[in-house]
Amino acid sequence: MKFVARLLHEDGCSLVDEVQQGWLWGQLCSCARKDPPVWPSRLECSSKKHRPLENILAPQHFIAAMAAVTQTVGEHASGKILAMRDISVRQSELLPLILQPLTASAVAAASHRPREEQLPAEEGLAASLPQSSTARAEAIEQAAPAIERLKVILVMLDARLADIKNLWTSGKLRSVGIDGRQTIQLIEALFEHNQNRQNVLEAISSS
């Protein structure tokens, strides 16, 4: 797996290293106090020296706080990918396999809600909180648009040039905050220069 650790290597910092070593996952674990099921974290999620948010936040504030953490994770991973200047075939195939589970797990970890009886609740607000884990995950994902953006970027990594063009012309990329410059830069990193690529880049630039 040493070749995986070199993926997304930039300025001495590998995004995949961060996943494997627990930085990204640890951000959520340390707040939501949910044990990571896949990646062992260097941050001890159950460490007594870290007071988890579940012990200090009322339920009505928990989702907002975890959405903020999830947003940070999504922005960090997306930024790393969009900053790459050359993406090999191996990277374009492996990065989605490695990071797609993270997008789901991040929201799942953040949607973990502590027991109500342990937390103070403001009258009338606790009842309005999403009751199911699915509803909580949806609420967090809606408040953390960087996760949806990361999902789209991962699709682009393993997509055909024509599919990426369609994502742009349909407005999907702009809807998740990926602008023309970022789209062009990612295409240039993924595909070798040829007339077809040039035509697509010109079409995106002029739209």
pTM (global) more than 0.85? no
One-letter amino acid of 12:
G
Local confidence pLDDT in tens for the 207 residues of the chain: 343 334 444 433 455 555 544 545 455 444 444 444 443 333 333 334 434 555 566 656 777 888 888 888 889 889 999 999 999 999 998 888 888 877 776 666 666 554 444 444 444 444 455 556 677 777 778 888 999 999 999 999 999 999 999 999 999 999 999 999 999 999 999 999 999 999 999 999 998
Token digits for 70? 């999830």
